[in-house]
Each structure stands twice: as structure tokens, then as C-alpha cells.
Amino acid sequence: MPKAAVRMTSVDKLVDIACDGLSGRSWYADATNQIDYVSWLEGWDRSEFAGVIATTSPRCSVVRNIRMSLHFMHHRNIRVVPMRGIRTSVTRFLDGKGIAGQKTSAFYNNLLGCPDSVTLDVWMSYALGCDQKDFNVKASREKATDRIVGVGRVMSITPAEAQACIWVGYQKRIGYNPSPFSIASEYFAARAAEWEVAGCSIHAE
């Protein structure tokens, strides 16, 4: 028998959180523009760059995610990624086998400008009042997505914008300063350092 969806924060309460994070509404649009811009400067395939960012994002800070992705795109050495499981995900994507996992695939779509995909990461589980593992259950994943879509409908914004606003708003409420998706600035810092990317090193097999 399929598992039932867990209880989650109501749409009304999520709208309140999203209103606190309205500054994050353009988060994905800005990220897409920066991916396009850096890809244009370097002659990289924008879809590949977005896929590398998405597949290296699990259990990783925003800044670390960007730096590893830039390092890989320039040096093409997968060993810059410390976790072997993540290396496998990157390699599968580069081999044309797609992206496994709802969170990572939705994030990839969002980075390429898709407004309807909803990225359900650990911060969204906090905002929704559930465990991130609950998103592995279809009913809970669909309920969470419906909640975010509902917020977007109330606020007359896209699901991706609603998710970004909740992401920023929740972090602000608990005293965190949400990290900007500063691909361009990290890119120019790496280029100025002759591609010695800060915090990145080659790990053993």
C-alpha cells in the first residue's frame, strides 16, 4: 500500500514566509543569466554547465557548488568532487544518461529557466515542516509541490519564484543570510587566479 503524505505547513503560512523572502524572487532568473553569460565567455555548453552545477549541488554550500563546477568545467577533472556518489551523478549526466533524483533534476530545470519545476531541498523541508526524506515518498513529494504551486498562485508568481522566495524567507527568519548565486564573480576570481579556484583540490581515487 502506498505511503500517505505527511503533514506540512499550510499555504497561508508559506505565503507569509515567502513574503519575507521576496528579495529572492529573481534568484533563478539571475542564476540562468549568469550561467548563460559565463558559458558565452568561455564557449561552454550552457546545458552542460547547468547540469554540472545541479549534479554537484547535493550536500554542498552554494559557494562551494559554484567553485567546484567552475573548476570542473575548466580543468575537466572529476576528482575535484570529493564524494564518489556525486562523481557518479556528474559522470552519468555527462554521458547522456540524465539526472536522477527529483531535487537535482528540478534544480537543473530551474537553472535553465524552467518556471514550473519545484526544487525540494533540505531548506524546503524545514519550511514545510517535514523531513527531507519524506520527499522520497511520491505522495509527500506531490503534496509539497502542490503547496509551493499554491503559494505561487496566491502571490501571482511562478512556482520556481515561489520556491525561491520561501527558501530565502525561511533562512532569514532563522537568522541566516542566504548566499547569492554569484557565478560571475566567482568566475572572474578564478580567472584572475589563473584558474586556481579557491577551496578546490584534486582528491584521490
* pLDDT tens digits along 55-67: 999 888 899 999 9
d(CA 76, CA 56) in angstroms, rounded, equals 14
Cell numbers describing residue 182: 554569484
d(CA 139, CA 144) in angstroms, rounded, equals 9
Q: Are 72 and 52 in contact (CB under 8 A)?
A: yes
Cell numbers describing residue 82: 570529493
The CA dihedral of 74, 111, 55, 66, to the nearest 10 degrees, is 50
Query: Which phi and psi angles does 41 have, rounded to 5°?
Result: -65, -40
In the chain, the N- to C-terminal Cα span, in Å, equals 42
Q: Are 10 and 132 in contact (CB under 8 A)?
A: no
Query: Which phi and psi angles does 7 have, rounded to 5°?
Result: -70, 145
Q: pLDDT at position 118, please?
A: 97
Triad 161, 100, 112: Cα angle to 5°: 35
Series of mean pLDDT values for 10-residue runs along the chain (205 residues):
83 98 95 97 98 93 94 95 91 94 94 96 96 93 97 98 97 88 94 93 71
Q: Are 183 and 34 in contact (CB under 8 A)?
A: yes
d(CA 97, CA 137) in angstroms, rounded, equals 23
